[in-house]
Structure 1
Amino acid sequence: MGPRSPSAASSALLFLLLLGSSGFLQSYAVEVDIKDASNATCLYARWMMSFFIKYETNSSDYKNTTLNLSSSVTHNGSVCGNDTHAALLAVQFGEGHSWSINFTKTNETYQGDLITFTYNTNDTAVFPDAKRKGPVTIVVKDTMSPVQLNNVFVCHSIESFEAENVTQIFWNVTVQAFVQNGTIGEKESRCPADTPTSAPTVPPTVANITTASTTTLSPAPTTAPKPVENPDTGNYSLKIGNKTCLLATVGLQLNVSHDKPVLINVNPKTTSADGTCGNTTAMLKLNDGNSTLISFTFVVKNTSAGVPKFYLKEVNVTLLNRLNGSVISSADNNNFSKWDAFLGSSYMCRKEQTLEISDDIQIHTFNLWIQPFLVKANKFSTAEECFADSDLNFLIPIAVGMALGFLIILVFISYIIGRRKSRTGYQSV
């Protein structure tokens, strides 16, 4: 449960404006107290988490879904651990889903090791048309730094792990492994992402499992919105081994609407790229490290002339907010047919474009240049430009040509007038 960067300041405003929107999903907080043979606490944790999963459907398409914790969670299989054996925190929820993390110990510290997440596509409420049926297991390495024994690890900031089409999201984490003498420590070890001024976390009342409590929020202050400048352009790429398989250059701006629109620029300096490359499908996933996850899915199609082209088919936006860590929103549109170009070339559009993800979420793109397939020598291939750019390219030579035409006409008229004047001067008297 290691930390990532804290949410941007705009996240709090976004939360206040969008609270209560039908697109937001409520996850539950989990509190687990594991006891040893003498009924003393040996492992304690309280946290919130959610999962963003991309899965294949019966029609061989791909869909995105969000899996949240249910109100009923068990912790079968959790063990205390000791000097020679790892501690294990394991929870089960919903229709056959489970999650666990093991902790290792040294003489002075403990830390998280492996996170194992299993989701069950037989859960038709979450995966209504999954092609693959049954449990799917994902294992990732935790990034939690070593914590002094008898200290409580606390991290309110959002953290996420991405692996095999699954993004695991955690926030409001409080955990202590290898609890000594059955007493939870009073000293905290904060994750770097939490601000130094964050209020200390009071150790909560020990209970096996509790659900999330409701939170009362103050209304957002009424202030005049400041104009938002165009976003900075970011450069993103994916690799297979040492070979680049996808290139993208784009500035991204989110337009989120509820009572009033909110514009949020994606900062390329804090945004990381992940995804997959394939022969007929490619996905670029962007994570700004605090509150926004965006994925673009490209596919290859055959044209009537038999020459394959690629195009943008699906875009998913997941908005996170760390204000009390209680809200996640996900919007998806898998019916796009944009940014198409012949396979082996790239697509370019310098002008602003708008992608309608849902009624409440839009993405504005600026200075776009994308090539999701057949990248050679780590460089973009010849670009096919969008219609808006083509119009500009056509207008410039037309304007220049018209100006030259008028100039030629003026020269010709001046020449005719000059000849007439010269003839008049040589007439006989």
Structure 2
Amino acid sequence: MATRSRCPRPLSLPCCCLLLLALGSPGFFQSHAVEVDVKDLSNNTCIYAKWMMSFLIKYETNSSEYKNATLKPSTNVTHDGSICGNNTHAPLLAIQFGAGHSWSINFTKTNETYQGNIISFTYNTNDAAFKDAKTKGPITIVVNDTMHPVQLNTVYKCHHLDSIEVANVSLFFWNVILQAFVQNGTVSKHDSTCEADKSTVAPTTIANLTTTVANLTTAPITTASSPLPTTTSKPVEKPLIGNYSLKDGDKTCLLATMGLQLNVSQEPVLININPKTTNVTGSCGNTSAILRLSDSNRTFIDFTFAVKNTSANTQRFYLKEVNITVIRSINGSEPFNAGNNNLSIWDTFLGSSYMCQKEQTVLVTEDLQIHTFDLRIQPFKVQDNKYAKAQECSLDDDTILIPIIVGAALAGLIVIIVIAYIIGRRKTYAGYQTL
């Protein structure tokens, strides 16, 4: 058991100095590792941290639609306000980055352990990333940290990617190395590994990772001396059909029924969304609606629906945008993010529902597709918690086969008549001779 650490001598807010270094790292978000060393007046380290983070933020636009923006600390990170703590103020780790964005966490301890306490994140919609935001200015969210208590005088390490979701913001953290309440200014050589990194599965090929992301755990790195076992890939089962809904007050404003399967072709991996472990959030409006599905905080799918006016002066709704974030559990790698804001599918009259029982494929990007099964959706004008009359997709419309069959039969009959006529003419000519 670790011995109790000595608290650094009381310091006032301006009395701490900090060294911060941003290191580049490849990945889907091209995030940067942030390294922080908070020191007291005697130049002794009191907090050491190195981690990677990114933020996914949903915001409302001037046209009352919703979009996603991604923020990440880059090379212009500052550290104003970080302190070692004293009898009045808790130790605080704070950074600032970009155009007015900031993030901070404070720490508490007992006689034997320490842990993160409150996380505060402020994002500024005056940033170019929110160029069409309806509300301009800084917005702050506060949330409790999910970190479990760590033994004093040990370094907390967690390569596994973790997330915290609050309001319209998703915070992602990975490759975390942290020690608060550092003793005698020296970072400990003893590690405390997070539970997610301790959980492993047997080495397997990527092609076999066909279960829901929520069921995946951190897989060990396979070296050349440990060859992958030869296994037979099992066919991917059809996803379970989920029933999802949103309410505006006490009234249902959106209904959705579907089975969802993600095809991440870059891996490759197929992911079935499990409705039993999926949380439903979103928003309803007169001309725009968002359905967000979060499968065990490992897969986030945002469906954005919009209303359009046609030349016939009628209104129709359609799926306009899809944004997906997949937290990949392999070796604590970065989240995979893909989106398409130029869709025009699932189109039908406003006040109706759209239905397609056969499998459909939604092309989000070249690297990610969504397969839907037994789809039915109504994002506007839901009455009495029930679907309105459905517009069936062309794949389901068997009535189209009737005119095709009739047309083919008529064409065949015409061909037969023409052939018979030509043969008859030839026989007629053959019966006459020139005198």
Question: Quick one: distance in 2 between partners of 1:318 and 1:181?
Answer: 42
Q: In 2 relative to 1, CA 38–23 (structure 1 residues): closer, same or farther, beyond 3 Å? A: closer
Q: Which residue of 2 aligns with 1:311?
A: 318
Q: What pairs with 1:191-230 in structure 2 (closer than 5 Å)?
A: 191-196=194-199, 226-230=234-238
Q: Which residue of 2 aligns with 1:414?
A: none
Shift of 1:390: 4.7
Q: Which residue of 2 aligns with 1:413?
A: none
Q: More deviation in 358-367 or 232-241?
A: 232-241
Report whether the alignment pairs 1:77 with 2:115.
Answer: no
Report whether the alignment pairs 1:249 with 2:250.
Answer: no
Query: Which consecutive residues of structure 1, in runs of 5 or more, have no partner in the other structure?
Result: 1-21, 199-215, 400-429
Q: Which residue of 2 aligns with 1:353?
A: 360
Question: Quick one: distance in 2 between partners of 1:92 and 1:246?
Answer: 39
Question: Quick one: distance in 2 between partners of 1:274 and 1:191?
Answer: 29
Q: What pairs with 1:395-414 in structure 2 (closer than 5 Å)?
A: none
Query: Which consecutive residues of structure 2, in runs of 5 or more, have no partner in the other structure?
Result: 1-25, 202-220, 406-435
Cα pair 2:258 2:373 within 8 Å, conserved? yes
Question: Quick one: distance in 1 between partners of 2:322 and 2:200?
Answer: 37
Which one of the candidate residues 343, 352, 376 is aligned to 1:336?
Answer: 343
Question: Quick one: distance in 1 between partners of 2:251 and 2:146?
Answer: 27
Q: What pairs with 1:319-398 in structure 2 (closer than 5 Å)?
A: 319-375=326-382, 379-388=385-394, 390-392=396-398
Q: Which residue of 1 aligns with 2:292?
A: 285
Helix, strand or coil: the match of 1:73?
coil
One-letter amino acid matched to 1:278:
G
Q: Which residue of 1 aligns with 2:139?
A: 136
Question: Quick one: distance in 1 between partners of 2:347 and 2:27?
Answer: 30
**1:91-124 alpha-carbon deviations (Å, 9 max, x no partner):** 1223332211222344554333332222334443
Question: Quick one: distance in 2 between partners of 1:172 and 1:102?
Answer: 19
Q: Which residue of 2 aligns with 1:34?
A: 38
Q: In 2 relative to 1, CA 160–241 (structure 1 residues): closer, same or farther, beyond 3 Å? A: farther
Question: Quick one: distance in 2 between partners of 1:390 and 1:337?
Answer: 19
**1:34-71 alpha-carbon deviations (Å, 9 max, x no partner):** 12233322222221111123345566654333222213
Q: In 2 relative to 1, CA 145–326 (structure 1 residues): closer, same or farther, beyond 3 Å? A: closer
Question: Quick one: distance in 1 between partners of 2:383 and 2:87?
Answer: 52
Helix, strand or coil: the match of 1:24?
coil
TM-score when normalising by structure 1? 0.70
Question: Quick one: distance in 1 between partners of 2:37 and 2:308?
Answer: 53
Question: Quick one: distance in 2 between partners of 1:62 and 1:136?
Answer: 16
Q: Which residue of 2 aligns with 1:177?
A: 180
Report whether the alignment pairs 1:238 with 2:241.
Answer: no
Shift of 1:88: 1.4
Cα pair 2:66 2:290 within 8 Å, conserved? no
Q: Which residue of 2 aligns with 1:166?
A: 169
Question: Quick one: distance in 2 between partners of 1:194 and 1:383?
Answer: 50
Helix, strand or coil: the match of 1:316?
strand
Q: In 2 relative to 1, CA 150–60 (structure 1 residues): closer, same or farther, beyond 3 Å? A: same
Q: In 2 relative to 1, CA 383–154 (structure 1 residues): closer, same or farther, beyond 3 Å? A: farther
Question: Quick one: distance in 1 between partners of 2:63 and 2:381?
Answer: 26
Report whether the alignment pairs 1:96 with 2:96.
Answer: no
Helix, strand or coil: the match of 1:25?
coil
Question: Quick one: distance in 2 between partners of 1:85 and 1:106?
Answer: 16
Shift of 1:315: 0.5
Question: Quick one: distance in 2 between partners of 1:262 and 1:181?
Answer: 48
Shift of 1:389: 6.1
Report whether the alignment pairs 1:263 with 2:270.
Answer: yes
Question: Quick one: distance in 1 between partners of 2:299 and 2:367?
Answer: 15
One-letter amino acid matched to 2:93:
L
Question: Quick one: distance in 1 between partners of 2:192 and 2:303?
Answer: 37
Shift of 1:276: 2.3
Q: In 2 relative to 1, CA 131–288 (structure 1 residues): closer, same or farther, beyond 3 Å? A: same
Question: Quick one: distance in 1 between partners of 2:195 and 2:244?
Answer: 26
Please provide the CA RMSD for this pair.
3.7
TM-score when normalising by structure 2? 0.69
Q: Which residue of 1 aligns with 2:210?
A: none
Helix, strand or coil: the match of 2:362?
strand
Q: Which residue of 2 aligns with 1:206?
A: none
Cα pair 2:37 2:49 within 8 Å, conserved? yes
Q: In 2 relative to 1, CA 249–23 (structure 1 residues): closer, same or farther, beyond 3 Å? A: farther
Q: In 2 relative to 1, CA 264–29 (structure 1 residues): closer, same or farther, beyond 3 Å? A: same
